[in-house]
Amino acid sequence: MAFKYSAYTGRYLRVDLTKGEIKEVETEEWRARLYLGGNGFGTKVLWDEVPKGVDPFSPENRLILSTGPLTGTIWPTAGRLEVIGKSPLTGIYGDANSGGHFAPELKFAGYDMIIFQGKSKRPVYLWVEDGRAELRDASHLWGRGTWETERIVRQEHGDERIKVAGIGPAGENLVRFAGIITSGRAAARSGLGAVMGSKNLKCVAARGELDVEVADDEFFDYACEVQQQILSDEYTPSTSRYGTPGLVNPMNEISRFPTRNFQRGDFPYANEISGEVLEKKFLVRRTGCYACPINCGRAAIVREGPFKGTYTEGIEYETINALGARTWNRDMASIIKGDLLCDDYGLDSISTGGVIAFAMECFERGIISEKDTGGMKLEWGDPQVVLELIEKIARREGIGDVLAEGVARAAKKFGKGAEYYAMHIKGMEMSAQDPRSQQSYILAHVTSTRGADHLKGFPCIDETGYVDAAVKRYGEQYLPEIVDGLSTKYKPMVVKDGEELGAVTDSAIVCKFGTHFPPAYYWPELARGISLATGMQLDAAELKKIGERIYNLQRCFNAREGIGRKDDIQPKRIMVESGTGRATGYTAGPLLGPMLDEYYELRQWDKETGWPTRAKLEELGLKDAADELDKIAPSRRKNRW
Amino acid sequence: MAKRIVLMERPPINTCTGCRSCELACSFRHERAFNPEKSRIRVIRTEYGISYPVVCHQCSRPPCVEACPVRAITKNPESGLVYIDESLCIGCGLCIEKCPFGAITLHADKKVAIKCDLCDGDPGCVKSCPERVLALADVNIVAQRTRAAWVKFRG
């Protein structure tokens, strides 16, 4: 019988790698109705199937690749893939999300989701085509980069249209921040590439010719209308033209651009690594993910110098900051080279840059010396050091073996006060959003369910001040503080709303470019789009409830692992040291406490423990989670990190 | 005027980015389902980020018309449209072999040849292209625009 809701395939795969068994399961009606897709599907699987204390690298961990109801349709930006698992970097809930063309292909191949469990004896990959799936030998792919892996798989099947999502050597070597890459697009945060590697799974290759149908024909015209809404937003043209690298200069101007391992928030040489420079000297073409009206992708090539001929499609704002300003590196060509290396080895460029900057600072301060680095001088701004460390990390060679563990573990190993320079929250390296210059981000970073992160709350309203969007979304009464980056007022409300909206966009699955930045469309449009596609008849309030349910269940997963308010803290450095430029005199410290109080209150979470209350969980239909949390009293252990 | 789907781009900024919105619009218009495999326009992505939408050029002397053994393909002398009558098509695929561009496809379920029919003058691909590089135009209009751009560039 056909699935009740349109736009789903109505089937998913459960792959037991230990037994080499593939089971086809009918997508449950309740799963779609309560958890929507993508992020929601994965969260529910993780909560149900990965109990407290499971080692992320053990066969008991799950790795979930999921699509959502909008995947494969013409809804703007509906080409994203969601990956979920317990993170080896943080030891808690982990997810990552990438663009590209893989997720729609998986849906055209007939599946809403794939759950991997167990561990294969030898390297394998999963081949999915038109409602069939099989595990194939991947020993000839093991050790190869992600680009080459894609090429070989396509050749093997003789079809250029095959889409591949997989890992490079970093994932195989269990680098704790290895990602899953599809044609240079990376689902890289949380280190789920290493989970894939721990299961001896090299990649998933998909090819499909099946239809994705929607409930109401009006969906098409409405999707085109929302596309227009995104295109006519005043901030879209610059993102289209310069991609996210276009943010380098504006973020630097407001000193929100982490530099020299967060020693400061602005980089004097930002002009040399900006979106404008990228366009002038390196751009080949603009590229886009599936069904995207923004097309922020950059195909870039280095035309001269030592990195001549280096070509990448993955260069973006975060990578430029991580491999550039964060390490004091002003050589754009080397950043492009570094981006290619990260994509090909399968590394999260944010964590990679973070851990390199951390090592450089430890070297500067004498915490580590040439004895520890195998003779390498980890000087700030040396492009060769950045590139060499990327390779060493991916191969776990020498000092790279320590850095491959992430800054939190490396700091413990180095000792001598190195912790102070480890810029992470819950074990996850911080992204390029210096919260000292945008106070809402302190809260967003600490309440993110996957550790330090800009993409959960993604509070862009107060970045440079989106007055119109702020008024439209929250009302005039919150002006002017709500759009003031240095004010903490009303930000808990904005962060909470962003987290729930984000949980839904990651489940639908669409890009946050459109819903969060630029804030071009919002709950009502998303609810109408999903309703027209699926036939569910959701209104904005019901959709928001789904987002809230997903986010609360993620928090429950973390609570079960012992996470609570004691862990919702920022790195000491940004608590103590002031920002620079507009953030001079501002730290990310004193106001976090009151913001957290207000946030927990809005969330109806216990203010002392930071755990969701029974009343809240029951309201969201999560009674089983409340029962389970009651069994384990709130942990009174000291901070995990 | 004989109109066709044309690509008007000026790389690296103003260009087809490979987002494939056109494929989805096309398949929805013709099939009421999203399925790039059933689209009459196909975006081909090659190395170095190059993407290019391949679609019927409504040729003046169409090799597909000549190749068709059952005269299912005709060219309208007035509108210029090259049209496949699906009820006559036997699905032999000779037109597909003869098309120099790969603009004709065998429909996965119906097993007949499909190609761009210009959507009665309101093409879904043009409507959905976010980069606005697809247009329904007389090819000589493209030439005129290129001439104008060239003269402007020349200064």
The angle subtended at Cα A143 by Cα A140 and Cα A147, nearest 5°, is: 90
Domains and CATH numbers, chain A: 11-207 (3.60.9.10), 243-422 (1.10.569.10), 440-631 (1.10.599.10)
Which residues lie closer than 8 Å to A151 by C-beta, 6 or more apart?
none
Nearest CA in chain B to A230: B130
CB contact under 8 A, A224 and B127: yes
* Cα A182 to Cα A150: distance, rounded to the nearest angstrom: 8
pLDDT of residue B145: 86
Mean pLDDT of the residues in chain A: 96
The angle subtended at Cα B40 by Cα B39 and Cα B44, nearest 5°, is: 80
* Cα A366 to Cα A443: distance, rounded to the nearest angstrom: 33
What is the DSSP track for A200-252? TEEEEEEE----B--S-THHHHHHHHHHHHHHTSTTHHHHHHH-GGGGHHHHH
CB contact under 8 A, B20 and A286: no
**In this predicted model, what pLDDT tens digit does every residue of A196-206 receive, in sequence order?**
999 999 999 99
Give yes or no for residue B115 having a pLDDT over 70: yes
Q: How confident is the model at residue A416 (pLDDT cuts 50, 70, 90)?
A: very high
pLDDT of residue B10: 83
Domains and CATH numbers, chain B: 3-154 (3.30.70.20)
Which residues lie closer than 8 Å to A190 by C-beta, 6 or more apart?
A85, A87, A89, A90, A94, A95, A96, A428, A450, A451
Q: How confident is the model at residue A634 (pLDDT cuts 50, 70, 90)?
A: low
* Cα A109 to Cα A126: distance, rounded to the nearest angstrom: 12
Q: How confident is the model at residue A105 (pLDDT cuts 50, 70, 90)?
A: very high
pLDDT of residue A1: 54
pLDDT of residue B1: 66
Place of tokens 């040489």: A269
**In this predicted model, what pLDDT tens digit does every residue of A516-530 receive, in sequence order?**
999 999 999 999 999
**Mean pLDDT, residues A64-90 taken together:** 98
Nearest CA in chain A to B26: A74
pLDDT of residue A566: 94
Q: How confident is the model at residue A569 (pLDDT cuts 50, 70, 90)?
A: very high
**Mean pLDDT, residues A385-394 taken together:** 98
**Mean pLDDT, residues A332-345 taken together:** 98
CB contact under 8 A, A227 and B18: no
Interface of A with B (CB under 8 A): 72-74, 76, 101, 108, 208-214, 217, 220, 224, 227, 231, 241, 279, 283-295, 297, 299, 301, 311, 313
Structure tokens at A71: 């995947």
Residue A83: Cβ within 10 Å count: 27
pLDDT of residue B149: 86
pLDDT of residue A637: 46
* Cα A549 to Cα A572: distance, rounded to the nearest angstrom: 32
Give yes or no for residue A636 having a pLDDT over 50: no
Give yes or no for residue A641 having a pLDDT over 60: no
**In this predicted model, what pLDDT tens digit does every residue of B89-112 receive, in sequence order?**
999 999 999 999 999 999 999 999
Give yes or no for residue A363 having a pLDDT over 70: yes
pLDDT of residue A268: 98
Q: ipTM, 2 decimals?
A: 0.94
